[in-house]
């Protein structure tokens, strides 16, 4: 196991996985099996083999006595579920963390995204607000909240301001540039919308949502 852990820390996920799969578990205690499942789950996640990752991460969540390790694995499960379009399952994992007294910007922003994906916009707004209460400079929360406020017509003016703040902090983020351009479009300012969306498109021309926004706003694309 030691060699696998060493390779994992070097971010050599494929080689680390080979080492972990080759481990002789014949004399393992329960805690050793949990440790192995933890690293297998993370390796499979890094390699984007999500179905394999779920199998091992669930073992850790149900059997590990370490609350911080359970926290990390639930967060990883939530990431996988959001990435693979299973937002309701992500909501469940994150909800369990909140029930157990955990709170973080990452939990709240991921919960917000999960609710947004289910078109529960007010709940998404509420959780982005919670994230900003913990860290008013979180670009993920600023951008996510700004986009939803503008896109859903809840508060377009505030949405633009929040998106601008996110862009000011990370001016090379195509996602944030796109959100700001879309917010301006929702507010009826086509000149600013086209300017920011073109900048987003120049950075990430193959991004599906950016392309869709460009086709909507920039008619000569």
> Which CATH number does the domain housing residue 171 bear?
1.25.40.10
User: How confident is the model at residue 89, as a pLDDT?
Assistant: 95
Give tens-digit pLDDT for 97-129: 999 899 999 999 999 999 999 999 999 999 999
DSSP character at residue 206: T
Domain CATH for 16:
1.25.40
Which of 33, 65, 97 terminates a domain? The answer is 65
What does the alpha-carbon distance between residue 128 and residue 35 come to, in Å, rounded to a whole number?
33
Which of 48, 65, 82 terminates a domain? The answer is 65
What does the alpha-carbon distance between residue 8 and residue 80 come to, in Å, rounded to a whole number?
19
Task: Give the number of domains in the chain.
Answer: 2
> Does some domain include residue 4?
yes
Task: Tell me which residue of 165, 74, 100 sits closest to 128, measured CA to CA.
Answer: 165
Which of 65, 93, 118 terminates a domain? The answer is 65
Domain interval for residue 185: 137-221
Contact 146, 179 (CB under 8 A): yes
> Does some domain include residue 34?
yes
> Does some domain include residue 88?
no
Q: What is the DSSP string of 95-146?
A: HHHHHTT---HHHHHHHHHHHHHTT-HHHHHHHHHHHHHH-TT-HHHHHHHH
> Does some domain include residue 205?
yes
Q: Is the pLDDT of residue 44 over 50?
A: yes
> Does some domain include residue 91?
no
Contact 70, 57 (CB under 8 A): no
> Does some domain include residue 124?
no
Exposure class string for 49-85: b at 16+ Cβ within 10 A, else e: ebebbbebbebbbeebeeeeebbbbbbbbbbbbbeee
The helix-helix angle for 50-63 and 30-46 (nearest 10°) equals 150
Mean pLDDT estimate for the chain? 94
User: How confident is the model at residue 221, as a pLDDT?
Assistant: 45
> Does some domain include residue 218?
yes
């Amino acid at each position: 196991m030691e060699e696998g852990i060493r390779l994992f820390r070097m971010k050599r996920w494929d080689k680390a996985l080979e080492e972990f799969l080759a481990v002789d578990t014949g004399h393992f205690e329960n805690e050793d099996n949990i440790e192995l499942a933890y690293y297998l789950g993370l390796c499979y996640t890094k390699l984007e083999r999500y179905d394999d990752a779920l199998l091992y991460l669930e073992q850790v969540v149900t059997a590990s006595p370490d609350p911080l390790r359970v926290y990390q694995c639930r967060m990883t499960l939530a990431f996988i579920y959001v990435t693979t379009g299973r937002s309701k399952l992500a909501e469940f994992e994150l909800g369990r963390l909140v029930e157990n007294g955990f709170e973080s910007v990452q939990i709240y922003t991921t919960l917000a995204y999960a609710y947004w994906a289910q078109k529960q916009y007010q709940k998404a707004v509420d959780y982005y607000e919670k994230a900003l209460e913990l860290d008013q400079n979180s670009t993920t929360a600023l951008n996510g909240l700004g986009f939803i406020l503008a896109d859903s017509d809840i508060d377009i003016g505030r949405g633009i301001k929040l998106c601008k703040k996110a862009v000011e902090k990370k001016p090379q983020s195509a996602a944030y540039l796109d959100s700001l351009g879309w917010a301006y479009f929702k507010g009826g300012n086509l000149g600013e919308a086209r300017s920011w969306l073109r900048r987003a498109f120049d950075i990430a021309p193959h991004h599906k949502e950016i392309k869709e926004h460009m086709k909507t706003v920039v008619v000569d694309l």
